[in-house]
Chains A and B, each alone.
Chain A
Amino acid sequence: MSYFARLYKPRMSVFWWMSRPTYLMFVLRELSSVFVAWFIVYLLLFARAVGQGPEQYQRFLDWAASPWLIALNIVAFLFVVYHAITFANLTPQAMVVKLRGRTVPGPLMAASVYVGWLVVSAILAWLVVG
């Protein structure tokens, strides 16, 4: 007598990303790329306004001060910070660096990314404010 198994094939829910907090954090991390892209567009618009003279620059500043844009930029900033933190924290998993035959410990790798981030931020702050 032969027997053929009738397999049950479960299907993933459309809302699979809500089934675990870690999945949700992953999806938010992916979504953060949209806000990174938005900041690039915003920066390009800013640079164009500067290049077009004082009048356009003032118009850009007025537009940038509108409440909805401030709200959008606050949300975008939070997402970009989250993006950067996850990037730094995941770096040791993606890169194994050896110095003098020894593997650099993961926390040290992540710390070096944070230090690099701080240094670049400090230089930019000095350029803008200083």
Chain B
Amino acid sequence: MPENITLRVARYRPEQEEEPTFDEYAVPLNKDWSVLDGLNYIKDELDGTLSYRWSCRMGICGSCGASVNGQPKLTCATFLHDYAPGPVRIEPLANFPIIRDLVVELTDFMHKLGTVKPWIVREEEQPVEDGEYLQTPAELADYKQYSMCINCMLCYSACPVYGLDPHFIGPAAIALAQRYNLDNRDEGARDRLTVLNQPEGIWGCTFVGECSRACPKDVDPAGAIQRYKVTAAMATVKSLLMPWGER
């Protein structure tokens, strides 16, 4: 029999309590168990009322983010053994309203994401018979890093700017805007600039850098934002010097 480790899990049951509390559960400290395995053990064996999100178990879907000992983590990619002997404190991702237990409300992000048009914008679609939009490996490399974002919200949870000012559009939305801005097939950079060249857009970021440290996919949203600041500043200077030029 493996030894146990204690998980202190935040519980918020809106029908019976005003604010979150903690429940403790002893789960087996199996060598290959992730924090998510521990939560699934609680759900299956100890307390079926525990609510949390998860899906793929392999760091792809971005559903299972939670705060583990105060750090935003994908629970499927965080191993209980690294926290032995425990206890391990598991809370919902910081900076989001809590719906229940570890489940947070993400509507704000979903709305903001839509505003940056995270898809390939074309002024004119080429006919299907003309074939694919071709791209060289070098052109792919320009944006590939940003395309690895899985919308897991760990960066928002790590970002104190978002925590202090919920109007800030946030790291992932800007990184995903850059993913399309840097794609040579895209023609929507001007639309995104209008949304992001704002105080609550890129200029809200003070380059804490914690979003990039929290990112499980090495997207480096902080880098994306700083690069976009350079682009936006150049565009502003250009429009001031050449107001008659193409905007």
Contact = CB atoms under 8 A, between A and B. Distances in A.
Given A19-B70, A23-B210, A5 B230 contact: no
A103 B144 CA distance: 14
Given A8-B14, A93-B222, A93-B223, A22 B209 contact: yes
A95 interface: yes
Contact of A101 (B98, B138, B206): B138
Interface string B215-230: 0000010110011011
Contacts of B220: 93
A22 B222 CA distance: 14
Interface string B72-100: 00000000000000000000001101111
A12 interface: yes
B164 A12 contact: yes
A94 B164 contact: no
A96 B160 contact: no
A111 B233 CA distance: 25
A109 to B, nearest CB: 12
A126 B20 CA distance: 63
How many chain A residues sit at the interface, stated as a range, is: 20 to 34
Contact of B12 (A8, A16, A19): A8
Given A7-B105, A101-B138, A23 B160 contact: yes
Interface residues of B, number: 32
Nearest to A9: B97
B207 interface: yes
Given A8-B19, A22-B210, A95 B97 contact: no
A103 B19 CA distance: 50
B182 to A, nearest CB: 9
Contacts of B226: 90, 93-95
Contacts of B210: 20, 22-23, 26
A42 interface: no
A93 B230 CA distance: 12
A7 B97 contact: yes
Nearest to B17: A8
A96 to B, nearest CB: 6
Given A90-B209, A94-B226, A94-B227, A12 B160 contact: yes
A66 to B, nearest CB: 35
A50 B138 CA distance: 56
Nearest to A22: B210
The 4 closest A-B pairs by CB, nearest first: A94-B226, A93-B223, A7-B97, A6-B14
Interface of A: 5-10, 12, 16-17, 19-20, 22-23, 26, 30, 90, 93-96, 101, 103
23 contacts: A6-B15, A7-B98, A8-B97, A8-B98, A9-B97, A10-B94, A10-B98, A12-B160, A12-B164, A16-B163, A16-B164, A20-B70, A22-B209, A22-B213, A23-B160, A23-B208, A26-B206, A26-B209, A93-B222, A94-B207, A94-B223, A101-B138, A103-B141
Interface of B: 12, 14-15, 19-20, 70, 94-95, 97-100, 105, 138, 141, 160, 163-164, 206-210, 212-213, 220, 222-223, 226-227, 229-230
